[in-house]
Amino acid sequence: MTESIRIAVASADDAFSAALCAYLKGSEGAHVVESCDVEVIAAAAVETLDAVFLDIRNPDAIVSLRRLSLISPTLVLGPGEPDAMIAAFDAGAGSYIDADAAFEEIAAAIRQLVQGHAVVPPPLLGALLRHVITRRRGEEAAREQLEALTKREREVFELASAGANNATIADRLFISPATARTHVQRVFQKLDLHSRAELIAFAIRCGIYPEETQ
């Protein structure tokens, strides 16, 4: 690394965070922003972060991952378990490293991430590949179902998946509330869905996220 590399370190473990920051500053010459507050890291992004390091050993931390991953490529430190790793990548992680990793390994993973290379613990690689293949097949099947929707129903689907209620859908599409309700019902029937939660989950399987449709 060079002094131009800027890294944000987010961990609820103050002692671990301080030690890692000291290591990165001393051995890598990096400029480090230390905080477990997403708002602080988001503000630091104004100065252009090259990478974010997020410790998800605190289960609440993964809630912040999707937002952090939009700020900068994110290296996640977590349990050496497939489910934890898969959840991290689904939430936007750019790389994943086992919680038992030494600081030297973390620094190397950050370097690779900054250079555009993903890092995955070798024992977990097979699980990740299987997950990617399964998810891709699910996405293809879901997109095929979407093709059954009319153009108007697709518009209704995208608005509803972004959290819009029937009144908002009617307003956005310049149709009556009754017509909006009818379109929503048809979308549910064609996609075999039974609740708004299922509709949002279906949209995510298709690769459609709320931030993309609002």
Tally of domains in the chain: 2
Q: b vs e for 19-40, b when ≥16 Cβ sit within 10 Å of the residue's Cβ?
A: ebbebbeeebebbbbbebebee
User: For residues 63 and 89, which has the higher predicted lDDT (pLDDT)?
Assistant: 89
Instruction: Please give the biggest Cα pair distance in the chain.
Output: 65
Confidence of residue 3 (pLDDT cuts 50, 70, 90): very low
In a domain, 135, yes or no: no
Residue 65 has pLDDT above 90, yes or no: no
Q: How far apart are CA 106 and CA 130, in angstroms?
A: 25
Supply the pTM of this predicted model: 0.61
Amino acid at 106: I
Q: Which of 5-14, 35-44, 99-108 has the lowest mean pLDDT?
A: 35-44
What is the residue-averaged pLDDT of the chain? 84
Do both 96 and 158 map to the same domain?
no
Q: Which CATH number belongs to the domain containing residue 175 in this structure? A: 1.10.10.10
Q: Which of 25-29, 50-54, 94-98, 160-164 has the lowest mean pLDDT?
A: 25-29
Look up residue 2 and give its two tokens. Answer: 């060079």
Do both 91 and 176 map to the same domain?
no
Do both 97 and 180 map to the same domain?
no
- pLDDT tens-digit readout, 132-157: 777 777 677 778 888 889 999 999 99
User: For residues 35 and 148, which has the higher predicted lDDT (pLDDT)?
Assistant: 148
Instruction: Give me the pLDDT at residue 214, please.
Output: 43
Do both 10 and 65 map to the same domain?
yes
Q: Which CATH number belongs to the domain containing residue 115 in this structure? A: 3.40.50.2300
Do both 100 and 203 map to the same domain?
no
CB 213 within 8 A of CB 161: yes
Domain boundary among 75, 96, 127: 127
